[in-house]
Amino acid sequence: MVGRIFLLCLSVSVTVVIAGNLPPPTFTEKGKALAEKFCEKSEDKAFCVASLTSRPEAATATAPKLGVIALSIASANASDMSFYIKSKLKEKNLEPALEDTLDDCSKSYLDAVAQLDDSLAALLANSYIDVDIWLNTAITDAESCEDALNERAGNDAELARRNTNFLKLCKDALLINTILTP
Residue 92 has a CB neighbour count (10 Å cut-off) of 4
Could you tell me the CATH number of the domain that includes residue 118? 1.20.140.40
Give residue 41's domain range: 2-180
Q: What is the pLDDT of residues 133-167, one digit of tens each?
A: 999 999 999 999 999 999 877 678 999 999 999 99
Q: How far apart are the first and last CA of the chain?
A: 33
Rounded to two decimals, the pTM is 0.85
Number of domains in the chain: 1
Q: Which residues contact 162 (CB under 8 A, 6 or more apart)?
A: 77, 80, 81, 84
Which helix (H) or strand (E) element contains residue 172?
helix 157-180
Q: Which pLDDT belongs to residue 26?
A: 80
Q: What is the DSSP letter of 41?
A: G
